[in-house]
Structure 1
Amino acid sequence: MSETAATGGGGGGGGAGGLRERKKRQTYERLSETAIALFLEKGFEKVSVAEIAAAAEVSKPTLFRYFPAKEDLVLHRFADHEDEAARVVAGAAGRSPLEALHRHFADGLARRDPVTGLNDDPRVLAFHGLLYGTPSLVARAYAYQGRSEAALAGALVGVPAIAARLAAGQIVAVQRVLAEENWRRIAAGESADGVYPDAVVAAELGFGQLEGGLGIRSAN
């Protein structure tokens, strides 16, 4: 989850088609932001879809056209990250998939990208607390993770299908564990700057274990 996704924002586009897409995206963002604000204030289980729709000034059917499930209003912030690992591998340019992904994760740590768990902005912490503290959201997050794995497996060209699926599952799991560990320590009161050195070492360990066991050297 990028800083923009974690704290809200969006935009872009031009022309009639671009205007439609921009308005559609703005509606997605408005509905999601409205819902998350209510969830943080009252708790996920205590907020109804009808209350969200009323606060966003849309009908329930309209809300459901954008978000089929209540949980999707929260997980929408991860939508742009579903194929992120696949995009990193596709643009690896001379690096192995793992080298490219490790560097990308390390860069995320350095800039405190919320998707790495290494971010102590109060808004990000509140969102992560909502996500990890709500069982139905955690369960729903696995569906997003599954799509990320599928996209990454598809990007591992030249690798047998089952090997690509196994590799993608392990890579995504390592990234998730690293992010959760960073978030756990920050939620316990440590600063992002204080956790950063250990987070770098942990990432080196995680990707090092993958490199030693997966046997995938190049996406080309």
Structure 2
Amino acid sequence: MSTEQPGLRERKKRQTYQAVSDAAISMFLERGFDKVSVAEVAAAAEISKPTLFRYFPAKEDLVLHRFADHEDEPARVVSGRPAGTTPLDALRRHHLDGLERRDPVTGLCDVPAVLDFHRLLYGTPSLVARLYGYQSRSEVALARALDPATPVAARLAAGQIVAVLRILAEENWRRIDAGESAGQVYDDAVAAAGTAFAQLADGLGGPAPR
């Protein structure tokens, strides 16, 4: 009987995910996503191709693995918000905190490695298409956190929120990719977030978060 604890198995699994993903992304950045085969990634990671596919169902997931931990982030923010805080206010505060921390998910990050990753992502149509699948699952999780009793209304609200977060991040990244620093974009990013969440509050029928 194995004495290995589930926690240890899970940590090893995560380490394998990370190691294989890192190896793949390094190769994709060097040669281009479409010019590297899954077999080459498996060989570089010293695992078999079938084993790789057990971890990553599609080639695109080798890159988008980095988004996996963020897939249910909006739902976690809403579920864990303090008493008396509206979902939109909790999400707005979380986004502003991410901007201040230069969280890559907000697009406001000018670290060269992050910029290279975003160029790979947004410059590869199949990766962008696969990313929408992650965002769809994010909407479903957020809808459950918002109001599981009214699934259609909650899904509509979640779709608007996830779209706003995506657009804000893409606009920040676009400006930084064009040559501006994160510091130069920061004030505008904060203002854009304020406008976006105010519009969300108006559209969803609630008070604008302050």
With structure 1 as the length reference, what TM-score do the two structures score?
0.90
Higher relative contact order (CA 8 A, sep 6+): 1
- What is the CA–CA distance in structure 2 between the aligned matches of 1:159 and 1:68, rounded to whole Å? 33
Q: In the TM superposition, what whole-angstrom CA distance separates every residue of 1:152-196 from its partner, at most 9, and x where no partner exists?
A: 000012762211010000000000000000000000000000000
**3-state SS of paired residue (2:69):** helix
**Residues 32 and 76, structure 1, Cα contact 8 Å, conserved in 2:** yes
What letter is aligned with 1:188?
A
Tell me the equivalent position of 1:73: 62
Q: CA RMSD in A?
A: 1.1
Q: How does 1:206-217 map to 2 (within 5 A)?
A: 206-215=196-205
Tell me the equivalent position of 1:29: 18
With structure 2 as the length reference, what TM-score do the two structures score?
0.94
**3-state SS of paired residue (1:81):** coil
Q: In the TM superposition, what whole-angstrom CA distance separates every residue of 1:91-130 from its partner, at most 9, and x where no partner exists?
A: 1122100000000000000110000000000000000000
Q: Tell me, which stretches of 5 or more residues in structure 2 are unaligned?
A: none
Q: How does 1:195-214 map to 2 (within 5 A)?
A: 195-214=185-204
**Structure 1 position 51 matched with structure 2 position 43:** no
Tell me the equivalent position of 1:91: 80
Tell me the equivalent position of 1:8: none
- What is the CA–CA distance in structure 1 between the aligned matches of 2:163 and 2:126, rounded to whole Å? 19
Match of 2:142 among 144, 147, 152: 152
**Residues 85 and 101, structure 1, Cα contact 8 Å, conserved in 2:** yes
Task: Give % identity.
Answer: 72
**Structure 1 position 128 matched with structure 2 position 118:** yes
Q: Tell me, which stretches of 5 or more residues in structure 1 are unaligned?
A: 1-14
Tell me the equivalent position of 1:62: 51
What letter is aligned with 1:65?
R
**Residues 96 and 216, structure 1, Cα contact 8 Å, conserved in 2:** no
4+ residue runs over 6 A deviation: none
